[in-house]
Structure 1
Amino acid sequence: MLDLTDHHRPAPRQPVFNVPTIVTVLSLAMLVIHVLRTYVLSDDMDIEVLGLFSFIPGRYDPAAEFHLPGGLGAELWTFVSYAFLHATWMHLGINLVWMLAFATPVARRFGPARFLAFFAVTAAAGAAAHLVTHPDAMVPMIGASAVISGFMAAAVRFAFAPGASLSGRSLGNADRMPAQSLLEAFRDVRVIAFVGVWIGVNLLFGIGVSMPGAEDADVAWQAHMGGFFAGLLLFALFDPVPRRVRKAKTTA
């Protein structure tokens, strides 16, 4: 048998970052928005942007003494648009790192359309949790942390499943392996440990521990909780991968 391999031909290059296009687009959108707010817009214009696109619970208070710009439209779109705004470069950078880590496997699994829908639902769940716990607040809430929390929860549902990336016996198509049911997930010690640590960290934010890059602002940990539990509980509605077929047990 002849070896026809061209030993002088270089091996094909593998991409350094294998990030789905939709994750790259969303990350670039957040980056461009922050560049514009930081270097292009005046302070007055930036305040107007916050009034139009950040999530402000006081917007929904019928007894408020003044009305924020945007009307009914802003009452709807700010449930999602706040996730594209960030307080500082550190705040943005940390969120982008976590988003690349957790949104990437979720995007590979869901595909662009389901991924965007999941992004919107977890953002809205985070905003709703913040609204319930801060009904009259006029301080804007911004940042993608609630959405990233939702991606973390979604990843937990399939990353520890048999053959998946964190199962210990990862297969070639790890991000497309059938997910654990919610009951199976909460029987898995690794899942319980992950969720427990995540809740513990957010409770630290609740007692006043600052997040890097947001030392002068309160951490909206309730929004993190809203996004996380929405992602955990609603995952199956977005997951296109069929469940494992269980073999029925028979007795004679």
Structure 2
Amino acid sequence: MFNVPLPVLLIALSMPVLFFFQQQLPDMGASMAFAPADLEQGRWGGLFTSMLLHASWPHALMNAVAAVAFGAPVARLFGDRIGPSVFLLFYVSCGALAALGYGLIHWGSPNPMVGASGAVFGLIGAATRLLGAHGRVRPLLDKRVIAMSLAWMAVNLFTGVVGYMPGAEGAQIAWEAHAVGFVVGILAIGPLGRLFKRGVLIEEETA
């Protein structure tokens, strides 16, 4: 928490700051939200602008804390030279693809979606292959990666079905976007780890 990389800290701080300004808008930012129906009409901007919005203070703060916790190992993997730019691109890509996945699943729905949760779940997916690996990437089929992935998806599905999450305030939870963001993150971190020469951690088999 005290050694969090700067790009992670800036993204986390931007969430409550942007929500403060969002509250000052006449429509509370509704015009920048994403609805699956936008895809039919060729409006793609919401895939990106929706992750700048949140539904409530708890929603914004919870995502900010999660971004710090799970974004730090991802940012450290990318290093300090072009790393911050790569981290930002990774974060935005996870969020946009998560929203796109949600839009394809709920094709034609007019119900708007807001929040950076899809991008944050991308960080969670990536961190799932990094935690405890000493700066390298665990194999996708590593038993610890599989176990943590199943646990995260179980929690995600539970909150989606039950419909309870701090700050949701009765709104429908876009758990599908969370799942898509997680899958994007956990898959993309493998080739990115090789690109940044940290490699994939190969465990020695034990009897």
Measured against the shorter chain, the TM-score band is 0.7 to 0.9
Aligned twin of 1:25:
10
Letter in 1 for 2:35: I
Q: 1:242–1:217: structure 2 CA closer, same or farther, 3 Å change rule?
A: same
What is residue 167 of structure 2 aligned with on the other side?
A: 213
Deviations 1:39-60 (A, max 9, x none): x333x4x2xx321x21111112
Note if 1:125 corresponds to 2:97. yes
Q: From 28, 34, 37, give the equivalent of 1:58.
A: 37
Q: Does 1:105 align with 2:63?
A: no
Report 1:93-242 matches (<5 A). 93-110=61-78, 111-161=83-133, 164=134, 177-182=135-140, 186-188=141-143, 190-239=144-193, 240-242=196-198
Tell me, yes or no, if the aligned pair for 1:118 and 1:238 is still in contact at 8 Å: no
CA RMSD of aligned residues (A): 2.0
Matches within 5 A, 1:66-105: 75-105=43-73
Which runs of 5 or more residues in structure 1 are unaligned? 1-15, 63-71, 165-176, 247-252
Work out the percentage of aligned pairs sharing the same amino acid.
Answer: 35
Deviations 1:121-147 (Å, cap 9, x if unpaired)? 211221121111111121211111111
Deviations for 1:176-221, whole angstroms, at most 9, x for unmatched residues? Answer: x332232xxx232x22221111111111133233111103101100
Q: 1:154 to 1:22 in 2, by over 3 A?
A: same
Q: Which moved more, 1:88-97 or 1:24-33?
A: 24-33
- When normalised by structure 1's length, the TM-score is 0.71
SS in 1 for 2:19: helix
CA distance in 2, matches of 1:138, 1:245: 44
Which of the pair has more CA radius of gyration?
Answer: 1
Q: After the TM superposition, list the runs of 4 or more consecutive aligned residues in structure 1 that deviate by more than 4 angstroms.
A: none
Structure 2 residue runs of 5 or longer lacking an equivalent are 203-207
Question: How far is 1:245 from its partner?
Answer: 9.0
Q: Which moved more, 1:22-31 or 1:115-124?
A: 22-31
